[in-house]
Structure 1
Amino acid sequence: MEWLAEYTMFLAKAFTFVVVVFLIVSMIAALKARSKREEGTLTVVRLNEQLQRMTEKLENAILNKSALKALAKTRKAKAKAKEKASEPGKRVYVLNFNGDIKASALDNLRHEVTAVLELATEKDEIVVKVESGGGMVHAYGLAASQLVRIRDAGVPLTVCVDKVAASGGYMMACIGDKVLAAPFAILGSIGVVAQMPNFHRVLKKHDVDYEMLTAGEYKRTLTLFGENTEKGREKFQEDLENIHRLFKSFVGQYRPQLNVAEVATGEIWFGTEALEKALADEIGTSDQYISRMIHEADVFEVHYVHRKRLQEKLSAGMSAVADRLLLTWASRFHNQRFW
């Protein structure tokens, strides 16, 4: 019995030691993971090599040995000639912006632009694929400012719109030296919208009082639960008109060839119509443009990855679902047609 008691005590001490070590290692791993998550990771993919691998796989499946040998010889000669060139060739950097209502992709875009501008020169080019139906004014204003950084640095900027660049999305797209739009991409919606329900009559019906105290005449113009006044509505409308004026001025600054008064009505146009209105400069998809650039330059796709915790992923997923639902119903209210 004495031996059993000593052995039990030994197991308890060993178990305690293992638990303590496990907790310490877990804490260190958590801190390390948190540090990595905060810093994020910049991934770079050379699209020339990616296309070459796919092409070679297709060639090996289709061509005979003599044809493959001839192709290999031609490619080797081109590569040797490129190596002998005294100056480095043109570089094209491809960035992606998939925007939601809150412009959540803004954080990644900031890091990507900062990194690319450390190397890009006036001989290079930055291609940004924008896909967004717009959202919060301040968020998209900052997102557009990131593309302004590229223009200010003197690096040629091309914006490709494959699906939609409307409202805040077009605020970003218009900054490009060149704007490409797919034939049925949606561009425009140069306008401002704000809406909210008011439950004042419901509360009044159930004898519920609602009080709101402010300092400053226009600290709150419209409210969800209080009784809105005509003066408050007028001030709210005035603020919307001011934002719209700033929006139009911004678009006109970067696209002087555009008749802003004609297109700043909140309407949207499809690719070919957008070209006629000077909202775009060329009809084509980002795939077409980037494939062409691959044959003329070294093309790199740059993406900043910000690792998120599980709850952040779940929250982002729910937010994305909500955004899609809102955009779907907004599209129905605007009588957009789908095939």
Structure 2
Amino acid sequence: MFLLKTLTILVAIVVIIGAVTLASKKAVHHDGLEIEDLNKRYRMMANAVKQAVMKKEAWKKEAKAEKIRAKGDDRSDTKPIAFVIDFKGDLKASAAASLREEVSTVLEVARPDDKVVVRLENYGGVVHEHGLAASQLSRVRER
């Protein structure tokens, strides 16, 4: 009987500690930008499809040719870059401040021939905050 009570208390303590740890991990807010090479991502997806549809020998030949092309590919600074900014708005337009920081960062490093793409997902809401977000988009357009 004593062993069962002790075991129950220990399990309860472990569950509480786990819940607190999980809540604290979710509460951690990462300030900063998430940078992802979309070319690499799409290349990997294309390779997965090619591997699925091609014969094994043809796939190996294609993969070897791709590897040789990748080695010879010099990433010169003259090639234009497309920057993609994701904006997920809410009713309070709370993401307008982060959009300002992202636009400022991109405009700081972008060259005149680079492109900026803003993927906008918004459901409406507070007018003055959306005006601030629109002003950030006009900064991109002016540049």
Specify every segment of 5 or more residues in structure 2 that has no aligned partner in the other structure, as ranges: 1-23
Q: Please give the alpha-carbon distance, in whole angstroms, between the structure 2 residues aligned to 1:118 and 1:86.
A: 19
Q: C-alpha deviations, 1:2-28, integer Å up to 9, x for none?
A: xxxxxxxxxxxxxxxxxxxxxxxxxxx
Partner of 1:42 in structure 2? Answer: 33
- In the TM superposition, residue 68 of structure 1 has moved relative to its aligned partner by 1.3
Report the structure, 1 or 2, having the larger strand content: 1
Q: Please give the alpha-carbon distance, in whole angstroms, between the structure 2 residues aligned to 1:66 and 1:122.
A: 44
Alignment of 1:1-339 (within 5 A): 37=29, 40-83=31-74, 87-152=77-142, 154=143
Q: Please give the alpha-carbon distance, in whole angstroms, between the structure 1 residues aligned to 2:34 and 2:77.
A: 26
Considering only aligned residues, what root-mean-square deviation do their CA atoms show, in Å?
2.5
Q: C-alpha deviations, 1:256-296, integer Å up to 9, x for none?
A: xxxxxxxxxxxxxxxxxxxxxxxxxxxxxxxxxxxxxxxxx
Report the structure, 1 or 2, having the larger helix content: 2
Amino acid corresponding to residue 111 of structure 1 in structure 2 = E
What secondary structure is seen at the aligned counterpart in 1 of 2:35? strand
What secondary structure is seen at the aligned counterpart in 1 of 2:125? coil
Partner of 1:222 in structure 2? Answer: none
- In the TM superposition, residue 59 of structure 1 has moved relative to its aligned partner by 2.7
Amino acid corresponding to residue 65 of structure 1 in structure 2 = K
Percent identity over the alignment is 40
- In the TM superposition, residue 142 of structure 1 has moved relative to its aligned partner by 0.5
Count of paired positions: 118
Specify every segment of 5 or more residues in structure 1 that has no aligned partner in the other structure, as ranges: 1-29, 155-339
Q: C-alpha deviations, 1:59-107, integer Å up to 9, x for none?
A: 3333222211332244245434531x75431111111112222212212
What secondary structure is seen at the aligned counterpart in 1 of 2:86? strand
What secondary structure is seen at the aligned counterpart in 1 of 2:83? strand
TM-score (norm 1): 0.31
Q: C-alpha deviations, 1:30-71, integer Å up to 9, x for none?
A: 9xxx9x84x712111111111122222233333222211332
CA 1:68–1:146 in structure 2 vs 1: closer, same or farther (change >3 Å)? same
TM-score (norm 2): 0.68
CA 1:77–1:68 in structure 2 vs 1: closer, same or farther (change >3 Å)? same
- In the TM superposition, residue 145 of structure 1 has moved relative to its aligned partner by 0.9
Higher Rg of the two aligned structures: 1
Q: Please give the alpha-carbon distance, in whole angstroms, between the structure 2 residues aligned to 1:46 and 1:146.
A: 24
